[in-house]
A and B are shown apart, each in its own frame.
Chain A
């Protein structure tokens, strides 16, 4: 075995992979959230659809996205491998066990939390990512006045007929900038108008909060990063940003959309 295979098959190496993929996924959440915040814009989904297009067509981002998918798979597979290994290390469990006395709940339940998140990711990607790529989404045309940015004309293009493509141009006749884009926004709004879907998202985001509350700082430790001067900052970020703010912001989107669709 080479030094690398030895390293990655050791208990430390396996967790190194968990840490690296986990932190990478955490970082992605920030980007994902910034994009999702476009949904709060009252622009019939224009910004969000533009963002969706950018994310799926800009080459560096595309490469990163494949890394991301690989990370999800690696993170899940290694989680399983590690869990099986760790269960084997204690075949007879304690009759009385007081884990709460020495560790946080989330640190002891990363497997369950992670499983919830994995199920969520499968549903989430099936619903949006898969549909966006292969689901035959409708296109929407946005015509923006060059002189008055708040003057936007939105036309849902018919699905039947010739296949449409993404386009951005300026129509000199109407004096408007035209954007023809796959309308993921519509799918999002449609999904989040159903209550059970919103509930699923909120629960998943709570699970993510707990997962990251332990996972973010744990990821640094798995890398061996531990410094008295920076540890408080990492713990703060892990708790507030990744444990509370990001999951809360993500959860706010379906709730917001659900409430707005209720009024229509």
Chain B
């Protein structure tokens, strides 16, 4: 396959950046999208040019590091996969492919196609945990959890923190991510003691990071590589409103 790539190049956070066009020739349809970029980069290095920087690590769709916005969609045209699981057979010979970084105020570009997603870490640091120390916990089977609840908590927990939801959302809203994190713990009995404190502090941090608000377009759940559902967002809303309007405890 021979392809034309329009790639966003930006030296660092303060550089203005712009698109550069590259030829990717002799690409095998069996390559993954990132392997195609590897090949392009090898060619660039051979020519003495700076390779295209993109984030990637596990290359099996679980670490959440890869984050390319391909032809107008996060992680490219296929459903329920990450960029590293996208294969070149999903494109046609001669196609022009536009590759951009995630775009959001809260995700500043570091270099080329890599963005800083530490806002996600900070949101979780604000309360995305159950405050238990190592040791001194009850036996694992002491508290039964109904299977449907455990399964639903697991569905929320499958989030890989890639940020595709933010990238897809026209408002650059992080609510699918934040609500998945909140939901997982809000559903489980272990998460109940801090349930209403958690939702308030995490939402406050989410807003402080400069993400947009949710307008229920549903783009996030369509583009989520782990198919996390918008039900999580509504669950977060219920908990948040309950906390703010009906609970007497104030958070720190």
A residues near B, CB below 8 A?
3-4, 6-7, 10-16, 82, 85-86, 88-99, 101-104, 107-108, 110, 214, 217-218, 221-226
B172 within 8 A of A: yes
Q: Which residues of A contact B170 (CB under 8 A)?
A: 86, 90, 99, 103, 108
Q: Are A224 and B235 in contact (CB-based, < 8 A)?
A: yes
Q: How far is the CA of A7 from the CA of B233 in the complex (A)?
A: 16
Q: Are B218 and A91 in contact (CB-based, < 8 A)?
A: no
Q: Which residues of B contact A11 (CB under 8 A)?
A: 173, 175, 203, 206-207, 211-214
Contacts A98-B72, A108-B217 hold; do A85 and B212 have CB atoms under 8 A apart? yes
> What are some 18 contacts across the A-B interface (CB < 8 A)?
A11-B214, A14-B213, A15-B213, A15-B214, A85-B212, A86-B215, A89-B211, A90-B104, A90-B170, A90-B172, A93-B103, A95-B19, A101-B72, A101-B222, A102-B217, A221-B216, A222-B237, A224-B235
Q: How far is the CA of A222 from the CA of B238 in the complex (A)?
A: 9
Q: Which residues of B contact A101 (CB under 8 A)?
A: 72-73, 77, 222
> How many residues of B sit at the interface, in one of the four size bands?
35 or more
Q: Which residues of A contact B250 (CB under 8 A)?
A: 3
Q: How far is the CA of A9 from the CA of B165 in the complex (A)?
A: 23
Q: Which residues of B contact A4 (CB under 8 A)?
A: 244-245
B234 within 8 A of A: yes
Contacts A99-B170, A102-B222, A221-B216 hold; do A89 and B210 have CB atoms under 8 A apart? yes
Nearest-Cβ distance from residue A2 to partner chain B, whole angstroms? 10
Q: Which residues of A contact B219 (CB under 8 A)?
A: 99, 102-103
Residue ID in chain A nearest B220 by CB atoms: A102
Q: How far is the CA of A135 from the CA of B181 in the complex (A)?
A: 57
B residues near A, CB below 8 A?
6, 8, 19, 69, 71-73, 77, 98, 100, 103-106, 168, 170-173, 175, 203-204, 206-207, 210-219, 222-223, 230-231, 233-238, 240-241, 244-245, 250
Q: Which residues of B contact A103 (CB under 8 A)?
A: 170, 217-219, 222
Contacts A99-B219, A218-B215 hold; do A89 and B98 have CB atoms under 8 A apart? no
Nearest-Cβ distance from residue B197 to partner chain A, whole angstroms? 13
Q: Which residues of A contact B236 (CB under 8 A)?
A: 12, 224
Nearest-Cβ distance from residue B38 to partner chain A, whole angstroms? 23
Q: Are A7 and B245 in contact (CB-based, < 8 A)?
A: yes
Nearest-Cβ distance from residue A4 to partner chain B, whole angstroms? 7
Q: How far is the CA of A6 from the CA of B240 in the complex (A)?
A: 11
Q: How far is the CA of A43 from the CA of B212 in the complex (A)?
A: 53
Q: Are A221 and B233 in contact (CB-based, < 8 A)?
A: yes
Q: Are A12 and B105 in contact (CB-based, < 8 A)?
A: no
Residue ID in chain B nearest A14 by CB atoms: B213
Nearest 5 A/B pairs, CB to CB: A98-B72, A89-B212, A224-B237, A226-B234, A11-B213
Residue ID in chain B nearest A107 by CB atoms: B217
